[in-house]
Amino acid sequence: MGKSLTRKILESHLVKGNLAPGEEIFIRVDQTLTHDINAVMTYLAFEATGLDRVRTRCSVSYLDHNLLYVNSMTPDDHIYLQSAARRYGVYISRPGNGICHTVHMARFGVPGEISMGGDSHTPHGGASGMLGIGVGGMDVATAMTGVPMRLKVPRVVKVNLTGRLKPGVNAKEVVLEMLRRESVKGGLGKVYEYVGPGAEALEVPQRATIANMGAEMGATASIFPADAQVKRFLEGQGRGGAYRELLPDEDAEYEEERELDLSQLEPLMACPHLPDQVLPLAQVPKRKVQQVFLGSCTNASYADIAKAALVFQGHRVHEDVSCTCAIASRQTYRELLRDGYLDMLVEAGVRILEIACGPCCAIGQTPPTNGVAVRTSNRNFKGRAGNPTAEIYLVSPESAAATAVCGTFAAAEDVMGAEVGRLAEIREPERYLVDDSMLIPPLPPEEARKVEIVRGPNIQFLPVPEAPENHLTAAISLKARDNVTTDDITPASAEFSSMRSNIPLMSQYCYHRYDPGFAERAKKMGRSVIIGGENYGQGSSREHAAINPMYLGVKCVIAKSMARIHKGNLVNHGVIPMLFADPADYGRMDQMDELEFPCLLEQLPTRRVQGFNRTKGFSFQVVLDLTDSELEVVLAGGQLRYLKKQLEEGKDSQ
C-alpha cells in the first residue's frame, strides 16, 4: 500500500521509534514559533538549559497577541522577548507585522517540514503542506535545543473533498461541518489529511481556515497536499524556491476515511458555548446582536475580508451593532488598502483594529453584559471574549458582515440577494506585497553573544517542580465539569495576559472566573488534587494552565479524559495526569475529599495506581496514559529537569 502525506513527513523526520498508530516516536523538528503571551516561560526555560544558540533551522518569536499596553508589563515582556531572540538566534516579528500563523505560513512555510509552535493553532501551516503541531511552551524550548521531540503516532484520517463551495459559503463552513460531525474531542490522536478534487480547488488561505480550526476537534494536526495551489501561493510570496510537490500516494493507506461534498454546504453557525454546537445558520433562532468581529488568524485573509467588504457595499452597520475588523497581517492590510476594500469597510461603519489577535483572545472588544457576539474567530468558550455572561457565535466573514448589516443573524444572500454570485469572483492576489522590514533576522553568533537580555520587574522566575514523593496524601481542591478549557483555568484578557511572565501574580487568578476561591483555597491546602470531567484542558496550548496549579501545590489531575496539549503541559510541569479507570468514580468524589496514594513511585511504572478516598472510605483506580519517556519526565520532576539531564549526558539524539 502507498503512503499518506503525513506518513511521508514523519518518516523523513524519524529519529527513533515505530511508525504505528499509538506508538511513541521521536522526530526532528525544523521550525518553532512562539507568541508573546506564552513565550516568556519558553525563553526562560531555554535560558536555563545553558545553550548558546537555538539548534533548529528556523525559530521565530512573534509579538502579535497582546498589543494593548494597559500597563508596563506587556511592553516589558516584548523587550525581554526581543532581546532573548537576538541573544539566541531567533527571528523577531515585530508588533504590527501580523498574527503568527498567517505570517509564518507566508514567510517561512516549507512543504514537508515539521513546525512546533507554542499555540494550539500551529496546524494552520498544514495548508501549505507542512506538518504543524501545537504544543506547550516547554516543548518549544525543548525543540529549540535540537533534542528530538516525542510524539504519539497519530491515526491519519483521509477527508475526501468533492464539489465546490457556493458563493456565500466559506471554508469556515467546511471545518464547522467537520466539527459538527467529529465533536470537540473526536480528533484526539488524529491527523486529518484533506484530499480530492474539492481540496484541489481551495486556495491556500481557505485551506488555512480548515487546518487552523482542526485544533478545535482536538486533532494533532490537519494537512493538505503541496500541490499547484501551494506552488501558486509560494510564488506569489516571492518564495517559489521553497516549493516542492508533496502528495499522498494514489493508493495511500489511511486508518479512517471521511467524505464531504462542498457543494452541499450552506452557511453554518457554531452556537454557544462550544465550537461543535453547529447548526445551519437559517435554523438558528434570530437574536439581536450587539457585537460583530471580523478577523483573527482563522478568517482574515485577503479574500475573506474582500468578500465581507462586498457584502457591506451599499449598506451600513446596524445602529445597534458594534462592528470591528482585525486583519491578519500587515501584508494583507496593505493589499486591501490598495484595492479599496478597507475603504468599503470604513464607509459602512466598520472600525478597523490593530493588526493583531486582539478580540479573539479577549484583548479588547469585550461584549456587553449578557451580550450576543458574532465572530469569525475559532473559539466560543464561555468567557473566551472576556465576559462570562456573553454568548459567542462563530460564522464565516460573509455571514458576519450580513449580520452586522441586519442586526440579527444573517447570511450573505440575505443582504446581497442574487448579487451574492459576485463573491465567487474574489481570489487571492497573484503577487503579494512582500515587505519583510518588520521581520528582524537572527544576529551572527559572535554578535549575538554580546546581547544583554533585558528583564523588566515583571519577568519573574520559572517555577520548577520537585520530583513526586512516594506517598501522596492530598485533598481535592476543585471538582470541575466536562469540557473545562484552558480559558477556564487561566483567564484571557489584556490584563491577565500581561501577568503571564509573573507566575506568583498570575497564579492568584487561577480558575478566577470558574471558581474565584480556588487559588486561595489551593494555596492554604499546600498540596491538592484536581478532579476533572471529560476533555479536561481543551482549547489553547497555554502552559500557564498547568504551571499555575502546580505553583499552587496541585500534585495530580484526575479526569475522565484529557486534551492532548494540556496533558503534555501537566507532564512537563510535574503534575501527574491521571484518568479514572472507572468513570463512575468521578461521581463519587467531592471537593475537599481527602485522597491517598500509597507507594506512588512503585505504582507509577505500572500505569495503574490504586487510590483511597479517606473521607468516604472507598478505593478507586486510575490509569496513566503515559509513554515511557513521559513517565521518565514525571519521575524526574518535569521536562526542564529531564532536559537538562539529557543535555548534560549528551543524549541529544535519544
Residue-wise pLDDT for 589-626, tens only, equals 999 999 999 999 999 999 999 999 999 999 999 999 99
Q: What is the DSSP letter of 444?
A: P
Least confident of 351-355, 387-391, 498-502: 498-502
Question: Can you tell me whether residue 520 is helix, strand or coil?
Answer: helix
Which grid coordinates belong to 515? Answer: 471558581
Per-residue buried b or exposed e for 287-315, using 16+ beta carbons within 10 Å of the residue's own CB: eebbbbbbbbbbbbbbbbbbbbbbbbbeb
What percentage of residues in the chain have a pLDDT greater than 90? 87
Of 161-170, 382-391, 565-574, least confident by mean pLDDT is 382-391
- Report pLDDT for 558: 98
Q: How crowded is residue 584: how many other Cβ atoms within 10 Å of its Cβ?
A: 10
Name beta bridge partners: 610: 621
Share of the chain above pLDDT 70, in %: 99
pLDDT at 361: 82
Q: What is the pLDDT of residue 539?
A: 84
Mean pLDDT of the chain: 94
**What is the rounded distance in angstroms from the CA atom of residue 141 to the CA atom of residue 45?**
6
CB 614 within 8 A of CB 594: yes
pLDDT band at 503 (very low <50, low <70, confident <90, very high): very high
Q: How confident is the model at residue 484 (pLDDT cuts 50, 70, 90)?
A: very high
Question: Would the pLDDT of 184 be above 70?
Answer: yes
**Going by C-beta distance under 8 Å and a sequence separation of 6 or more, which residues neighbour residue 382?**
272, 273, 388, 488
Q: What is the pLDDT of residue 494?
A: 73
Q: Is the pLDDT of residue 20 over 90?
A: yes
Task: Cis check for the bond before 273: say yes or no (omega within 30 of 0).
Answer: yes
Joined grid coordinates for residue 519: 487559588
Quick: pLDDT tens for 334-366.
999 999 999 999 999 999 999 998 888 878 888
Residues 6+ apart with CB under 8 A from 78: 36, 63, 95
Residue 651's pLDDT band, with cuts at 50, 70 and 90, is: low
- Fold held by 268-425: Aconitase; domain 3 (3.30.499)
Model pLDDT, residue 364:
81
Does 472-649 match 268-425 at the fold level?
no
Which of 43-52, 108-117, 364-373, 549-558 has the lowest average pLDDT?
A: 364-373
pLDDT in tens, 189-217: 999 999 999 999 999 999 999 999 999 99
| pLDDT recorded at residue 653 | 43
Query: What is the Cα 624 distance to its own chain's centre?
Result: 24
Task: Give the DSSP H/E element, type plus range, for residue 230.
Answer: helix 228-236
Q: In the chain, where are the structural domains located?
A: 268-425, 472-649
At 573, is the pLDDT very low, low, confident or very high (cuts 50, 70, 90)?
very high
**pLDDT exceeds 50 at position 652:** no
| Lowest model confidence (mean pLDDT) among 188-197, 419-428, 499-508, 603-612 | 499-508
pLDDT at 268 (0 to 100): 98
Write out the DSSP string of 244-311: --B---TTB--SEEEEEEGGG---EEEPTT-TT-EEEGGGSPP-B-SEEEEESSSS-SHHHHHHHHHH
CATH for the stretch 472-649: 3.20.19.10
Residue 393 — pLDDT band, cuts 50, 70, 90?
A: very high
